[in-house]
Chains A and B, each alone.
Chain A
Amino acid sequence: MTGHLSEPLRACLPVREELDIVLARTCARELARRGGFPDAATEAAATAISEVARNIIVHAGMGEILLEVVKERGRRELVVLACDRGPGIPDLDRAMLDGYSTAGGLGLGLSSARRLMDEFHVVSRVGKGTVVTMKKWAA
């Protein structure tokens, strides 16, 4: 599909349990497919979405994922927003390091999500919550 986007390619998904991670991935794949994204980009985004969705469950308890395919400067982008009202990340620089985990994980989630996506941005406030914004370009 290469024509212009006639319908809004957008979804908002609650994230509470492991199954929601799968649903978020599936939904992202579907949006990316309809947005004409190549396979490799789609799968990279699906993996990054897995990471931020899992972080919501493990570190914040619950939250939401917003997905949207937009056209920006003539380029199609999959925009992912992962939001929660959890405890926030006190030391963002450390959290972004490979291998840093406060929960006995591999500590590779945030850092690899950044590598898998084309744009990556975290805003977090202790006691308020966390918003991860990521983008994957179609080409």
Chain B
Amino acid sequence: MADTTFAGTDLPRRAEIEIDEQEVNRRKQFLEFRADDAEALKSLEPIAEQYADPVIEDLYRHFLSFDETGGFFRDPKVLERVKRLQREYFVRLTEGDYGADYVRNRLGIGTVHERIDLAPKWYLGAYSFYLRAVATRLLEAFGKEPQKAFSAFLSLMKLVFLDIGLAVETYIAARDRTMRKQQEAIRELSTPVLQIRDRLLLLPIIGVIDTHRARLITESLLRSIRANRARVVVMDVTGVATVDSKVAQHILQAVAAARLMGASVIVTGLSSNVAQSLVALGIDLGTLNTAGDLQGGIEDAERILGYRVVRAAETGRGPQLAERR
């Protein structure tokens, strides 16, 4: 509910989502928030000026009595600023003009809440606290005219629900974006092509090969073959649990593309279950160079490249490779 300064730093306030004037109007229609509601709220402004401070004091006392929310305000300077901004918000609610600018501002604030990890449950709880506090104040202020207090309260509730809707959407949008980024990152991470010797690449494939990842894998494989002028690629599929016909097709396509670029591919780490699936698929394993495990695959690759593995005893040094001449 407060502003950017929650965390005490200058976080960017750009919202995750864009909402245009038309969309704002549509939402107001659904909330039945009309011109007279805006008027009613505006007429509350002098009262709001009065109750803003005491309500804020109550609200922050409440926040501070819970670790989950109090933790954000340990620094007195932060607390001071947040209270000031909170006050601005409370007063803003009764200043009229709830158009696109108003919405943009609300969205920016929701983004900040998501970023500092204030979970929606606390955020919503705070709104509930606020509404209850204001309801009491309004009843007091309107004295003998409780219906007026009630009607003003309903207008305020509509506006607050508009704000809550925006905040919740910001949370969701931010989460979605984080998840998409993480997925991308995992995909990137899990398609490394490693050069293990001159002209020899290792491509360990881990996890689920969907169409998108298959494309990434093939692309980075081909790029690496070109960059390293590789002649042999060891493709290790130990980390692939299921090879269905689509995954097999992706693998075969990667192998064929590598061949076109002059590199041969050795597939290693086919589990017995996967091998059985391949047999059931009727895929001709004969066209595929395979080796039992990664070690065997690398040795095969070295043989193709003309290396020979020399035991430590033969050289007097650690295990190493000697060029076969």
The answer to whether B242 touches A25 (Cβ under 8 A) is: yes
Question: Could you tell me which residues of chain B, from 96 to 111, have a CB within 8 Å of some CB in chain A?
Answer: none
Question: Could you tell me which residues of chain A, from 32 to 63, have a CB within 8 Å of some CB in chain B?
Answer: 39-40, 43-44, 46-47, 50-51, 54
Chain B residues near A44 (CB-CB < 8 A): 273, 276-277, 280
The answer to whether A105 touches B249 (Cβ under 8 A) is: yes
Question: Could you tell me which residues of chain B, from 189 to 246, have a CB within 8 Å of some CB in chain A?
Answer: 208, 210-211, 241-246
Contact of B283 among A25, A51, A108, A116 (CB under 8 A): A108
**A47 touching B282 in the complex, CB below 8 Å, given contacts A40-B273, A105-B245, A109-B245:** no
The answer to whether B249 touches A47 (Cβ under 8 A) is: no
Chain A nearest Cβ from B98, distance in angstroms:
38
- The majority secondary structure among interface residues of chain B is helix
Chain B residues near A119 (CB-CB < 8 A): none
**A39 touching B273 in the complex, CB below 8 Å, given contacts A22-B208, A111-B282:** yes
Chain B residues near A46 (CB-CB < 8 A): 241-242
The answer to whether B245 touches A112 (Cβ under 8 A) is: yes
* Chain B residues within 8 Å of chain A by Cβ, number: 20
Chain A nearest Cβ from B216, distance in angstroms:
14
CA distance A126 to B277 in the complex (A): 30
The answer to whether B208 touches A47 (Cβ under 8 A) is: no
Q: Residue of B at shortest CB range from A117?
A: B280
> Is A106 engaged at the interface, CB distance under 8 Å to the other chain?
yes
> Is A30 engaged at the interface, CB distance under 8 Å to the other chain?
no
Q: Residue of B at shortest CB range from A19?
A: B210
Q: Residue of A at shortest CB range from B247?
A: A50
- A14-26 vs B: 1/0 string, CB under 8 Å? 0000110010010
Contact of B277 among A19, A39, A47, A111 (CB under 8 A): A47
Chain A residues near B277 (CB-CB < 8 A): 43-44, 47, 112, 116
Chain A residues near B276 (CB-CB < 8 A): 40, 43-44
CA distance A43 to B273 in the complex (A): 6
Contact of A50 among B244, B249, B283 (CB under 8 A): B244
Chain B residues near A18 (CB-CB < 8 A): 210-211
> Is B261 engaged at the interface, CB distance under 8 Å to the other chain?
no
> Is A94 engaged at the interface, CB distance under 8 Å to the other chain?
no
The answer to whether B245 touches A108 (Cβ under 8 A) is: yes
Chain A residues near B208 (CB-CB < 8 A): 22
Contact of B248 among A40, A43, A106, A115 (CB under 8 A): A106
**A43 touching B242 in the complex, CB below 8 Å, given contacts A18-B211, A116-B277:** yes
**A116 touching B246 in the complex, CB below 8 Å, given contacts A18-B210, A39-B273:** no
CA distance A112 to B242 in the complex (A): 14
The answer to whether B272 touches A40 (Cβ under 8 A) is: yes
Q: Residue of A at shortest CB range from B283?
A: A108
> Is B19 engaged at the interface, CB distance under 8 Å to the other chain?
no
CA distance A108 to B283 in the complex (A): 9
> Is B281 engaged at the interface, CB distance under 8 Å to the other chain?
yes
CA distance A50 to B249 in the complex (A): 14
CA distance A116 to B277 in the complex (A): 7
**Extra inter-chain contacts (17) besides given A98-B282, A106-B281, A112-B277, CB under 8 Å:** A18-B211, A22-B208, A40-B273, A40-B276, A43-B241, A47-B243, A47-B277, A50-B242, A54-B244, A108-B245, A108-B248, A108-B282, A108-B283, A109-B245, A112-B281, A112-B282, A115-B282
The contact sample of 5 A-B pairs, CB cut-off 8 A, is A40-B276, A106-B245, A108-B281, A115-B282, A116-B280
